[in-house]
Amino acid sequence: MKKFSSRGKCLCGGVEFSTKGFHRDVSSCHCIQCMKTHGNFAAYTNIEDKNLKFQNKKTLKWFKSSKRAKRGFCSKCGASIFFKFNKSKNISISAGMFDKSLKVKTTRNIFIKNRLKYYKIDKSLPKFNRYS
């Protein structure tokens, strides 16, 4: 968890945002929903909603991915950008959307129990079957 400002956007620029304040360390999520929406495991940082500002969101669409959560994506270029629990005051942002390297690092693997086995995970990091 570190405090800084950053900027990010999707591939086409239809979704453009800036962040500030505390950013959570990055979690690699290996759940089936991340696999299906990202095409691979997902890497998310997380911030408070109030620390996210949009410069552009004309192509941002939300998909209700479960009863408890939704996922924000770009309807033009297809980027998987956000994950959000319905009742949370925080939002997860795909680490790859940022223009510069985040000042936080990947510190854990989550939802590894039923992950696909075509890739190796960093064994030095803590592993969790569900959320940590």
Contacting residues toward Zn ion, per CB under 5 A:
10, 12, 14, 74, 76-77
CB 63 to Zn ion: min, Å: 15
CB 126 to Zn ion: min, Å: 33
- CB 37 within 8 Å of CB 65: yes
Nearer to Zn ion, 7 or 76 (CB): 76
Nearer to Zn ion, 26 or 60 (CB): 60
Nearer to Zn ion, 75 or 106 (CB): 75
Q: Give the length of the chain.
A: 132
Nearer to Zn ion, 14 or 72 (CB): 14
Rg, C-alpha atoms of the chain: 14
CB 102 to Zn ion: min, Å: 20
Beta-carbon neighbour count of residue 96 at 10 Å?
A: 16
Pairing state between β 90-94 and 80-85: antiparallel
Q: Terminus-to-terminus CA distance in the chain, angstroms?
A: 15
CB 74 to Zn ion: min, Å: 3
Question: What three-state secondary structure class fits 85?
Answer: strand
